[in-house]
Chain A
Amino acid sequence: AQKITQTQPGMFVQEKEAVTLDCTYDTSDQSYGLFWYKQPSSGEMIFLIYQGSYDQQNATEGRYSLNFQKARKSANLVISASQLGDSAMYFCAMREGDYNNNDMRFGAGTRLTVKP
């Protein structure tokens, strides 16, 4: 079964506007971590932000924030004030912590294009 689902293959956003990239996950573990990565056209995978399953507050890192809704099992990435350099593939990922080997599973990704 798919553990991470990203339903938006592609998204467009106007420069300086905010955009939300969707991610839902499936786990029966109580302990788990959720991650977002950015992959520009150069191919490198850049770690953006992390949210732990026990964290009470949504994670934020600069212009990135994670809208964590535990009951709905969603972990959406919000990028504020989009810049042209934000154009890239974005991957949501999860590491489960209770009974697993802590390997990381990824979604299919969302290609974000920022329009000038």
Chain B
Amino acid sequence: DVKVTQSSRYLVKRTGEKVFLECVQDMDHENMFWYRQDPGLGLRLIYFSYDVKMKEKGDIPEGYSVSREKKERFSLILESASTNQTSMYLCASSRPRSYNSPLHFGNGTRLTVT
């Protein structure tokens, strides 16, 4: 079974803090994704990566950056957390660029910024 592991289930941070959300997958997948989920808005793509050291902006990259130094790990960074970044963050991975591959998700990190 594919396993996508997010380091924290719940996280509480203060405004202005630098926040790291970590995601690790064990299936040697090339593609990795970060989404945020908000009620009524569904899942919105923040960033994705299709190879080590490669990254592409999604629909809402502002206020976020990512790092992919190793194939299995994809980190989401909030450079200076703000209250409007309070959300559920979901990491996912999939096989190489292919429109017929499903995404495999982690269990999510619920981030609260106070």
Contact = CB atoms under 8 A, between A and B. Distances in A.
Interface of A: 4, 6, 9, 31-33, 35, 42-45, 47, 50, 52, 91, 93, 95-97, 101-109
Interface string B34-70: 0100001111110010100000101100000000000
Given A103-B33, A109-B42, A97 B105 contact: no
Given A4-B42, A32-B99, 18 more contacts: A33-B99, A43-B107, A44-B107, A45-B92, A91-B42, A91-B43, A93-B43, A93-B103, A95-B98, A101-B48, A101-B50, A102-B98, A102-B101, A104-B94, A105-B59, A106-B35, A108-B40, A109-B42
Interface string B77-114: 00000000000101010100111111111011000000
Contacts of B108: 43-44
B43 A106 contact: yes
Contacts of A95: 98-101
B105 A104 contact: no
Contacts of A47: 102-104
Contacts of B90: 45
